[in-house]
Each structure stands twice: as structure tokens, then as C-alpha cells.
Amino acid sequence: MNYRHSFHAGNSADVLKHSLLIALIRALQQKESALTLIDTHAGCGLYDLHGEEAGRTGEATQGVLRAFADPNPLLDDYRAAVRTVNEGAEPRLYPGSPRILAQLLRPQDALILNEKHPEDAYALRGAMRGTQAAVHERDAYEFWLAMLPTRTPRGVVVVDPPYERTDERARITATLAAAHRKWAHGVTVIWYPLKERPMHALWKDKLRRLGIPKFLNVEHWLYDADQPGIYNGAGLFIVNPPYAFTQGLPPLLEALRAALAPEGHRGEISGEWLVV
């Protein structure tokens, strides 16, 4: 499955991912100690929703535009993050995870980004100009392990690949196992698209068998029945989420489900612990 982000910026998966990422970082920031935020597949950092690639799919109409039309105050933090890079009432630009993470930084925090594709890395450096971010251009999985343990007492690694390679899930599984051995207390967030339930169930079982103690899985299925051969939703695996985040999660998930449900569908969203 090819998920090059410029074609999908601002879709329902982005709303889910960025809403939860904001809530997660803010929960961690209830403690004063410094955080290092690491994004292994950072992309371009900023996307034009009226540009050729995003316009070709039009997926923002089912994502960020739905979130902006929804009155639920639980989505206010997400909407504020998007408004930060826009001037008008309706978003034209969409901030990728790097720009959202940069907005959340405190003076004691650090942001380290990585993007392997040279053109995207060039765009990323431009998008992050004026921020505290350091930008690398390396293999994402080598970079992930090389950054651990973080220099600060606490940290978050965000893993958001395009799933262009057939071995992407296997590389994530192997790298996560190695990362957990080096950095057992760290927080890791892994985003993934949902297409076919049987394939996803097999991957989830492999991750479960890693035996990571605090391993949360959030899944958002858009449709009441799977739509063959197309994107059916997205999810996040979160290692070591803080208590403040998990306590506030149920109402936020319900707000996201309601805001993003396609016409004629209720959809399904859940959060569960992966237990061996």
C-alpha cells in the first residue's frame, strides 16, 4: 500500500493521529522534566490542501474539514494547531506531525526530525525554518535506534511510514523490539493505515508477542462494513502512554468517531491494551 503523504494530507487518518498526538504530548508535559520528540518519517512538514497532489484525492473534505465543521470542544486543540499555519477560517495549509510537534515544544524540550527522501527533506527544512528542530536525512529505522536512549530523561518517538515497502511492518516490528530493549521506559507512537482485517490481525499478533507491558492500540474503522481494496481507516500503537492520556482517551475517541463518520456509516473506534 502506497501512502505518500502529500496525496492524503488532512484526511481522517491525520485528524486521528494529530488529535491523539497533541493529547499525548500535553499529558506528558504535566511533568516539568524535558522531552525529546523524535519523528522518524517526517515528510515535508507542511502541505497545500489546494495543491495538485492533495487536490487529486480530495481526502481533506472527509478529514480536517469535517473536524472544523464539528462543534465538539474536545477537538478544539486539534483545530487550533491547524489554524496556527493558516490565516483564513477554512484551512488551506495542513501541518504535518513536525509542525504540530514544534508548536508543542517548551523551552526545555527538543525536536529531532528525519526524512530519507531528498526532495521531501529539502521541503522539510524549509517548513521548519525558524523552529528548534534538527533535521536528519537517514534511513528511518537506523535513525530510530541511533537516537535511543534520548539525551533528556523522557522522550517520544513517532513512527509514521508511507508503507510503500512490502516489509515495512516487519521492519517496524524488529526495530521496535530492539528499541524497547534499549529504551524500555520510552513512549513510542506507530501510525498505520487499515485496509484488510486479516492482514492487520496477523501483524497485531506479532506485536503482541513482543511482550511489551504497556502497549495500547487505538483503531478507527470508518465504515460499518469493510470496503474491499480501499483505505478503511487508521490506527496507532502507543507504547508507555501516560495515565493522564489514557484517562482522557474515551471521550476524545468518541468525538473523533462522530466527527469523521462517513455519510450513512457510524464507524467504530476503540482503544485496547495488547496483552500476551
Distance, in Å, from the CA atom of 20 to the CA atom of 28, rounded to the nearest integer, reads: 12
3-state SS record for the chain: CCCCHHHCCCCHHHHHHHHHHHHHHHHHCCCCCCEEEEECCCCCCEEECCCHHHHHHCHHHHCHHHHHHCCCHHHHHHHHHHHCCCCCCCCCEEECHHHHHHHHCCCCCEEEEECCCHHHHHHHHHHCCCCCCEEECCCHHHHHHHCCCCCCCEEEEEECCCCCCCCHHHHHHHHHHHHHHHCCCCEEEEEEEECCHHHHHHHHHHHHCCCCCCEEEEEEECCCCCCCCCCCEEEEEEECCCHHHHHHHHHHHHHHHHHHCCCCCCCEEEEEECCC
- Contact 160/16 with Cβ under 8 angstroms? no
160 is catalytic: yes
**Residue with the three cell numbers 480501499:** 230
Asked whether the bond before 149 is cis by omega within 30 degrees of 0, the reply is yes
Q: Give the active site residue among 14, 160, 224, 226.
A: 160
Q: Which residues are catalytic?
A: 160
